[in-house]
Structure 1
Amino acid sequence: MKFKDLLFVSASLVIFGACSSDDLEIDVPETDTEQPEEKEQKSGNKPPNAFNLSALVNGAADTELNPLLTWTATTDQDGDDITYKLLLDTNESPETTIAENLTTTEFSITEGLNRNKVYYWKVIAMDANGGETESTETFSFSTKGFALSESALTTNAEFSKRRNHSITEFDGKLWLIGGQDDNSSYKDVWSSIDGKTWELIAENPFAFFGKNNHTAIVFKDKFWIIGGGFSDIWSSTNGIDWVKNDLSGPFGSREGHSTVVYDGKLWVIGGTKVNEQMNDVWYSEDGITWTEAASSTQFSPRTDHTTVVFDGKMYLMGGTSVQDFSPSFYNDIYTSTDGINWTEVATESVFEIRANHTSLVYDNKMWVIGGWQAVTNQETMEQDVVSFADVWYSENGTQWNKLNGNDSYTGRLGHASVLFENKILISGGLNIDQDDNLRTHYNDVWVIE
């Protein structure tokens, strides 16, 4: 019996019985390509009069990453023209000039600030004869951290409620493919330009093959769909018209595997082959011809794990396997630079054991979102099921931090997540409520930013 069948057929029997660097990288306006020469103050010249900073107010918290900074205008006792220089960085006495020769008393920072950081800023008024006056104070503000939206971007998208689908950015749009609920396996393709409104692009572009628990990825300017209970591989140049590769994947029928682009190659890692969990690794330089890098690796055979590319390595995380109809869940993390040799990460803090979660890389961090576990209760000898509503992130794979959630967002497995327009979008999935004996599928979309 396939593991997916175990999960959802035997449910009634078993289940229901923000960049750590302090370096500031701000683009300075390119209006002046040459630095003005510093002028020695002219004898008898009087500097500009005192002036104050206005906004952001001193100590402002949870600010956006593109704030508008303002200050009061000053005058010069000699009647000289005045320009302003803005200094801002993470030092209590800021030294980094991000704008100068300003003739107005405001400046918008368009990029370069990091999340969860305290910044300090001051302004220097300068006259044409070398006179300078600093703002009476140096102000500080702290930027906002990441947060899960208080409400869904949409609670009822145009596509039907489902799990084990994929959402991928390709050609500037979002593309949702396939999935399943408890009654149907879907083959449809949907597209969106904003994650909120979705349009049906194709009802059945994959012949008789349903697409669920597959992988979807962009590689060499094509959109690729791999497996999903079959060994078929499809590609598209526009997301609408799909071509089945003449050569099926030599790794055979595969679902619950992971796929990444690394070292200029496409990689397929682990997953379920018919009813057996695998720990093999395959790669291809063109998506057509595949080579087995390893038939068995250091991590145990598993399915419904995730793999991301981070800090020059492949990171494999979590997953599950089944032996004698009993599932085991993992929260171990392995890294590799060649797909052959995998090293386990010695984690100091980490998410709970889980499978059918999602992972991605955002803001120089790895993220793990949701998933589920079924653990045998040693008192009742029944399985306690948890559908996770949590979100975790890490800058190094060793230490993991939990993002604050909210009561509006419910736990889920088999959902999809994607990075789009500098935000994380989470969509769909299945919630298993063991206490109320309920299974709820979703077609909502949530945002982390």
Structure 2
Amino acid sequence: MTRLVLCLLITAWPCLALDDAPNWVLEGNAPWQARDSQAEWVFKNQLWIGGGWFQSYAEPPRDVWSSGDGTAWKQVEQNAPWLHSDLPMNITFADKLWIMGGWYKGRLPGHSASNQVWASSDGLKWKQITANAEWSPRLAGGLVEHRGRLWMLGGTENYYFGDDASLKSDVWSSADGKEWKQETAKAAWAPRGYHQAVTLNDKIYILGGGSYTPGYHARNDVWSSSDGINWTCETESAPWEPRLWFSAAVYRGRMWVLGGWSKEKDNFGDVWHSADGKNWQRFETKTCWKARHEHSAFVFQDKLWVAGGHARPLSNEVWSLSLPQSWKPVADAQSLPVITLPVRVHLMQSDSIKAMHTTLTEADVKRIMGKVNKVWSQAGIQFEIESIGPTAAVALKTEMRLKPEFNRVHAMIPKDRLSGSAIDVCYVKEIAPNGFYYGEPIVVKDTAKLKEVIGGLDEPLPRVTSHEIGHALGLKHRQDKTNLMQSGTTGFTLNEQEISTARARARQYLIEHQGQE
């Protein structure tokens, strides 16, 4: 009977080709000075940016630029009348550009937040709609259009010198930007700034955010509301890391989270999307912009765009991503029929060869496989443990002692103990690589070590096991440090092609080994 047995090995395989998949395209470097935290708009078939941040000990810029193609930019205004252009709230509404709130003068004396509201029909001439909106002066809040009204959501009243009391969770709406109505003084979501707000399917969504200083914290929760008053927590912990200073957009019927920053991880360069705020998928491409925070995100000319941001150093790059209108993501894991594969775990034992004697326990294996199942849940594949138990290593024959290590280890695994209907996983103590993959007997060492990457798994063994399961399910190495099939790192994500390939191989396995159709 044919067996599918995993030997855990991190060795060189050809990279999975992504040449035919959508990719980010660098459109060029804009002529405006590299910056972050700027306002951004799409207006009259043009991309627009305004203001932003150069450094903490300087007044923020007040220039306004536009572009019809993301490559050629024109300076529309050098010194707009609004001062608070660092982390303002901005939107296109009622055929005008709008900018409101924001921070002025960084850490310099005279710094302040604003509750001014400005609008312009051409980006050159600006009118102050109100000098003192009903909501308190603030920056880094959410601003969306919903059911014909502007909606202001949370923010912080102080950038560098505030505390938790500076954070807001109030919600305001306005039909004209001048008169504002408080919809709720305290929404169900925790007070925050540096979050994002988007609208999708007649709902407002609040994403992530938190506080920068002095009481830093970051979130990755998602909330939704159809009326701005009653809120539902879609998830307390999205699969993207907690973060501040990220960007968000709605494109191809889904909300997108792009980049950002956290104190623990620094800049992020990941891209995620969701149709409902609850179920998220990571979007991976062969080419992407460098990790960054406080960049602009636009949807323009049927593309998703990223511009500027702090990429260590500040950037003036402009990138675009074009997905065909027929594009559909792989089905959310929650909607995929779950494929369950059986696993037998062998804890190798040897009194004479210490390297073959694992010290893992049954509790360790259950923990490891629990995390393996979390990794593979993104593909709708789960692994059910049939048995966990000690397996005595076979004495090594004299003629095998000078053979390569993988041959010696292979020879010490008793073949009569391997299953013909389940995946066999064997753990040992110490071998040169983290493991071996033969296509029959398994070996993985319980002392595996990996290079940590942003957002990776918190321990090596579940990742090594998951990685080699990927090989057994037809996946090859792909050298992108955040994904599961990268060599020697803690990354765990799969792209759509990998999910499709793995599910097809898993179904084939069930047909071949258990007669399941």
TM-score normalized with structure 2 length: 0.53
Confirm or deny: 8 A CA contact 2:22 2:285 kept in the other structure. Answer: no
Choose between structure 1 and 2: higher strand proportion: 1
Q: Which residue of 2 aligns with 1:126?
A: none
Distance in 2 (alpha carbons) for counterparts of 1:357 and 1:255: 15
Distance in 2 (alpha carbons) for counterparts of 1:364 and 1:287: 27
2:245 pairs with 347, 352, 356, which one? 356
Cα drift, residue 349 of structure 1: 5.5
Q: Which residue of 1 aligns with 2:87?
A: 213
Confirm or deny: 8 A CA contact 1:297 1:342 kept in the other structure. Answer: yes
Cα drift, residue 167 of structure 1: 2.0
2:280 pairs with 400, 408, 414, which one? 400
Cα drift, residue 409 of structure 1: 2.1
Confirm or deny: 8 A CA contact 1:390 1:405 kept in the other structure. Answer: no
CA deviation profile, 1:90-109 (whole Å, cap 9, x unmatched):
xxxxxxxxxxxxxxxxxxxx
1:195 pairs with 56, 60, 70, which one? 70
Choose between structure 1 and 2: higher helix proportion: 2
Larger RCO (CA within 8 A; separation ≥ 6): 2
Runs of at least 5 residues in structure 2 that lack an aligned partner in the other structure: 1-16, 104-113, 323-517
CA deviation profile, 1:34-53 (whole Å, cap 9, x unmatched):
xxxxxxxxxxxxxxxxxxxx
Q: Is 1:234–2:110 an aligned residue pair?
A: no
Distance in 1 (alpha carbons) for counterparts of 2:146 and 2:209: 21
Q: Is 1:308–2:191 an aligned residue pair?
A: no
Aligned length: 288
Distance in 2 (alpha carbons) for counterparts of 1:246 and 1:401: 41
Q: Which amino acid aligns with 1:188?
A: D
Q: Which residue of 1 aligns with 2:138?
A: 254
Gap change, CA 1:348 and 1:211, over 3 Å in 2: closer
Gap change, CA 1:356 and 1:62, over 3 Å in 2: closer
Cα drift, residue 252 of structure 1: 2.1
TM-score normalized with structure 1 length: 0.61
| Equivalent position SS for 2:310 | strand
Cα drift, residue 247 of structure 1: 4.5
Q: Which residue of 2 aligns with 1:440?
A: 313
Q: Which amino acid aligns with 2:53?
A: Q
Q: Which residue of 2 aligns with 1:321?
A: 211
Q: How does 1:91-102 map to 2 (within 5 A)?
A: none
Distance in 2 (alpha carbons) for counterparts of 1:303 and 1:289: 23
2:167 pairs with 272, 277, 288, which one? 277
CA deviation profile, 1:127-161 (whole Å, cap 9, x unmatched):
xxxxxxxxxxxxxxxxx654323xx111x211001
Q: How does 1:4-83 map to 2 (within 5 A)?
A: none
Confirm or deny: 8 A CA contact 1:366 1:394 kept in the other structure. Answer: yes
Cα drift, residue 348 of structure 1: 8.4
Distance in 2 (alpha carbons) for counterparts of 1:249 and 1:327: 28
Q: Which residue of 2 aligns with 1:148?
A: 24
Cα drift, residue 245 of structure 1: 1.7
Q: CA RMSD in A?
A: 2.0
Q: How does 1:365-404 map to 2 (within 5 A)?
A: 365-375=254-264, 385-404=265-284
Distance in 2 (alpha carbons) for counterparts of 1:406 and 1:167: 27
Runs of at least 5 residues in structure 1 that lack an aligned partner in the other structure: 1-60, 64-143, 376-384, 432-438
Cα drift, residue 396 of structure 1: 2.1
Q: Is 1:423–2:303 an aligned residue pair?
A: yes
CA deviation profile, 1:295-345 (whole Å, cap 9, x unmatched):
11110010010010011100100001257x231100000001111111100
Cα drift, residue 347 of structure 1: 6.8
CA deviation profile, 1:200-240 (whole Å, cap 9, x unmatched):
11011225x14110122111122111111211110111222
Confirm or deny: 8 A CA contact 1:266 1:285 kept in the other structure. Answer: yes
Confirm or deny: 8 A CA contact 1:347 1:397 kept in the other structure. Answer: no
Confirm or deny: 8 A CA contact 2:152 2:173 kept in the other structure. Answer: yes
Confirm or deny: 8 A CA contact 1:153 1:446 kept in the other structure. Answer: yes
Q: Which residue of 2 aligns with 1:160?
A: 33
Q: Percent identity?
A: 31
